[in-house]
Structure 1
Amino acid sequence: MSTNVPRATTASRATDRPGDASPFALGLLLRQAHWRAATVMTEAVRPLGIEMRHFAVLIVLVNRGPTVQRDLAAATGSDKAAIMRVVDDLERKGLAVRKSVPGDRRVRAVEITPQGVELFDAAHVAAEPLAKSLVAELGPGEPEQLRDLLTRFAYPADGEA
């Protein structure tokens, strides 16, 4: 049986160690950085009674205003069932409400409540010292440089993903 597997042209194989030079190195580093940042930020919002999945939806609602669940799912990278559970949680906690969309009785928009805005602001206060600890090993100007590089990587100017 023949497969279309490319023959190895380099001895560089993916590892999960610092200094990996494989074609997978960037993705592995980004995954590790995401895991570390998410773990730290989860600790910031936990005392507020929410998880990062809840906070991700609050971010969208603060930035966009009332948003239909389908668009919340797309904006947060969730599926329809997961976003429904998150919105249910937010409603139960009094942080968001579903409202009818004029002209379409089937669609409901999710809107952040004043209590949700208050919690959103409190999360930023709680996260500040933890965010500083994430970049404590970096030198002067490097946190800003890292943010700039990641922004350009995540949002290429030509719109390519």
Structure 2
Amino acid sequence: MTADASRRSTASRATGRPGDASPFALGLLLRRAHWHAAAVMTEALRPLGIELRHFAVLIVLVDRGPTVQRDLAVATGSDKAGIMRVVDDLERKGLAVRKAVPGDRRVRAVEITPQGVELFDAAHVAAQPLAERLAAGLGPGESEQLADLLTRFADAGAGEA
């Protein structure tokens, strides 16, 4: 194999094309899918005055109830400083509050407010047509299948971060 052929062979990998055998192909496809989905969801949230990082925390709070910041950081893939900024923003907007955790003066749990629940519901209404557009290229049942596969993929790697 010539150097040119070797370079072409290597360069054609990690492209996201079907059959790409590169160990980076899946990661790159996931990244591209994330960018696309984030752009669509950001469009839905913009009129509501929040960003995707804020909404990610609201999702966790609705799902789990009051949650300590450390657990919010893990659940949203954020770091300690980043989650503090997001919670500060949510508090300023009246969407969440920090409350003392009984038995530990140093720890605060974050809780969604009634205004936060209203915004959460409004975001789902606003996002529905955009989510349908996001999944428009998928066939019947494929959106659910993709969600199931991604959930299993994300859960399998959750302890490795």
TM over 0.5: yes
Q: Following the alignment from structure 1 to structure 2, what is the Cα–Cα distance between the partners of residues 131 and 55?
A: 15
Q: State yes or no: 1:89 paired with 2:89.
A: yes
Contact residue 12 and residue 21 of structure 1 kept, 8 A: no
Distance 1:152 1:67, change over 3 A: closer
Q: What is the Cα deviation at residue 141 of structure 1?
A: 2.5
Aligned position for 1:55: 55
Aligned position for 2:114: 114
Q: CA-to-partner distance for each residue in 1:87-134, whole Å, 9 max, x for gaps?
A: 110000000011111111111111100000010111111111000001
Q: State yes or no: 1:132 paired with 2:102.
A: no
Q: What is the Cα deviation at residue 159 of structure 1?
A: 8.1
> What is the RMSD computed on CA atoms of the aligned residues?
2.1
Q: What is the Cα deviation at residue 136 of structure 1?
A: 0.9
Aligned position for 2:41: 41
Structure 2: unaligned runs, 5 residues or longer: 1-5
Aligned position for 1:23: 23
Structure 1 residue runs of 4 or more that deviate by more than 6 Å after TM superposition: none
Q: CA-to-partner distance for each residue in 1:20-41, whole Å, 9 max, x for gaps?
A: 3322111111111111001101
The amino acid that maps onto 1:58 is L
Distance 1:160 1:64, change over 3 A: closer
Aligned residues: 151
Distance 1:76 1:23, change over 3 A: same
Aligned position for 1:4: none
TM-score, length basis structure 1: 0.84
Q: Following the alignment from structure 2 to structure 1, what is the Cα–Cα distance between the partners of residues 64 and 86?
A: 17
The amino acid that maps onto 2:110 is V
State the percentage of identical aligned residues: 79
Q: What is the Cα deviation at residue 12 of structure 1?
A: 4.5
Of Structure 1 and Structure 2, which has the larger fraction of its residues in helix? Answer: 2
Distance 1:70 1:151, change over 3 A: closer
Q: What is the Cα deviation at residue 80 of structure 1?
A: 1.1
Aligned position for 1:144: 144
1:1-16 aligned at under 5 Å gives the runs 11-13=9-11, 14-16=13-15
